Amino acid sequence: MSKTTIAILAPGAMGSAVARRLGENGARVLTSLKGRSEATLKRAADAGMICAEDDAIAEADIILSIVPPGEAVALAERLASLIVRREKKPIVVDCNAVNVDTVQRIEEIIGSAQAPFVDAGIIGFPPQPGGKSPAFYMSGEYARDVSVLKDLGLDVRIVEGPVGAASALKMSYAGIVKGLAGIGSAMVVAATKAGAADALRDELALSQPAVLARLEVALPDMIPKAYRWVAEMREISGFLGPDHPASQIYEGFARWFEHLADDANGEGTDAALLKAFAEKSRARKL
């Protein structure tokens, strides 16, 4: 019995961890490494991914697109150009944090190559050896056709509905979870600069202990990820729509995360304030 061949583009933190999980469960995992950094080459090798040319990528059974949201459409166009002349078509699964309009556009692009398409949203952290898989919510006509991914170690969950349903879930969930991180980080920085950090921490400990516990983890965790959240916040704004009163909230979060990313790569002033708030909160519990 031949191994299921899965192509993952690209081998970032999530893509490489998913590749490792699939490989551990018997899949053959391909990727493209043209023009990638040494760090990416090492990450792919450590995950057991096989560097493949475009022809081999197009011949995979399933292609998982796992890239920053701003790159999802361009990758779909590249994949369509590879697949269009193939008699046997892979199932293309877009796993990116994009809004409903974007994923429907991607479906049209992949559909132009006569390939089946699945809308997916990933919720959770990259799988670690021995740990659980993040949830892969999938929707669309062909969602059940990739059930083999469940046999290969992924937590696949079907969202009943058309292409766009899984992305709507991802947008809504990320809007809540990352929106809370945005609100919390903005207020912690403002309170600290105004000399009220200790008072804020004490009040949260008394009246909102669950919120404080979440901030202790979320604030330091978000700093290295802030740059990736910028495009995602804009996708959430687009998900709400230009006429929705709350859409500007997420555009504001995009600008805030952009600032935090620049700060982390520069003087690190606000990043240090966020880390200090979380560390002091944890220290008070000891």
> pLDDT tens-digit profile of 66-99?
999 999 999 999 999 999 999 999 999 999 999 9
According to the model, what pLDDT value does residue 130 have? 86
HEC string of 246-263?
CHHHHHHHHHHHHHHHHH
Q: What is the pTM of this model?
A: 0.92
> Can you list the alpha helix ranges (DSSP code H) found in the chain?
13-24, 38-46, 54-58, 72-83, 100-111, 148-151, 165-193, 197-207, 209-222, 226-240, 247-265, 269-285
User: Residue 39: pLDDT band by 50, 70, 90 thresholds?
Assistant: confident
Residue 12 in tokens: 């970032």
- Across 3-20, average pLDDT: 94
Residue 198 in tokens: 């200790």
Residue 241 in tokens: 């729509």
Q: Is the pLDDT of residue 285 over 80?
A: no
According to the model, what pLDDT value does residue 282 have? 83
Residues facing residue 157 across a β-bridge? 137
Residues facing residue 171 across a β-bridge? none
pLDDT averaged over the chain?
Answer: 95
